Amino acid sequence: MTVSLAHLSDPHLTTGPSAGPPAEALERALGQVLALDPRPDCVVITGDLVDRGTPEEYRALREALRDFPLPLHLAVGNHDDPQALLAEFAGTGFVGGGTRAHYAVDHPAFTLVVLDSNVRHAPGGHLGAAQLEWLDGVLARRPDTPALVCLHHPPVTVGVPYLDGMGLDDAEEFAAVLARHGNVARVLAGHLHRPITAAFAGSVVTTATSTYEQSSLDQRGGVPDFLPGPASFLLHLSNGASCPHGASCPHGAPGPHGAPGSTWVTHAVPIPQPPKP
């Protein structure tokens, strides 16, 4: 049986005169998710859900997601306000039915863990000791079930100095928690507006592009351009087959005590763009 999760990021919804393009881009992305056959088990959006973190923007986001028929989970980014998000979404499935911006959802074939790396009024991210202790407990709770751990700020440097200067400042502590568990299939992030893949803490970290604007590859320390351009989302899937590498699997999610794990793969799915005028 194939299980899958669609991974979107950085829609930057807003209100007012500039509201149209990011809203239309998110609508196209969600439409492309629903065009998949089979449809994914759930969807996650890894932060920068809105652009200014205002209550009006979160109301616009809820309206945009109101009729979406699949389970959809939200993570906060540096442009978000966790309290304003929760004022609109607390108690709903969008935040795991709870009242915090970090939560876990037990899907039948995998555990989805959403972390809150938001630092108020700062572009970089931080998880903190209390949240990492909570994560340690969540990963231990279903040790034989693959876990997909989601946050906004990627825990790796990517060779773009401007972006690396606003990363996750406790990535080393985060890695230490993940390394204690053998069931982390993927670490899912956003923030960069670029598609990145890297090894991390015995697992694989991937970043999804923005549904709206992409950043240029500036390796010399300048500020990247952020321009509308080809967008995509990621589809992380497993067919449930055991990896022949068993406990040493470099690309799956091996269980503890040498138990073989499922093989997970990640596909980039292009989002159709509107015709140019």
pLDDT recorded at residue 261: 55
Range of the domain at 199: 3-271
- DSSP strand pairing (147-150 vs 184-189): parallel
Residue 152 within any structural domain of the chain? yes
- The pTM of the full predicted model, rounded to 2 decimals, is 0.91
Q: Is residue 70 part of a domain?
A: yes
What CATH number is associated with residue 176? 3.60.21.10
Residue 62 is assigned to a structural domain of this protein: yes
Q: Is residue 84 part of a domain?
A: yes
Residue 277 is assigned to a structural domain of this protein? no
Domain assignment present for residue 28? The answer is yes
Q: Is residue 135 part of a domain?
A: yes
Amino acid found at 3: V
DSSP state letters, 121-162: T-SSB---HHHHHHHHHHHHHSTTS-EEEE-SS-SS--S-HH
What confidence score (pLDDT) does residue 254 get? 43
Residue 193, SS3? Answer: coil
Mean pLDDT of 243-265: 50
Q: Residue 63 carries which side chain, given as an amino acid letter?
A: E
pLDDT in tens, 173-210: 999 999 999 999 999 999 999 999 999 999 999 999 99
pLDDT at position 250 is: 45
Q: Note the pLDDT of residue 72.
A: 98
Distance (Å, whole) CA 3 – CA 212: 27
pLDDT at 247: 41
The total number of structural domains in the chain stands at 1
Indicate if the alpha-carbon torsion angle 235, 239, 240, 246 is positive or negative: negative
Q: Is residue 127 a part of any domain in this protein?
A: yes
Average pLDDT over residues 91-106: 97
Helices (H), the chain: 20-34, 55-65, 82-89, 129-141, 161-164, 171-179
Q: Given strand 196-200, what is the order of strands in its sheet? A: 103-106, 111-114, 147-150, 184-189, 203-207, 196-200
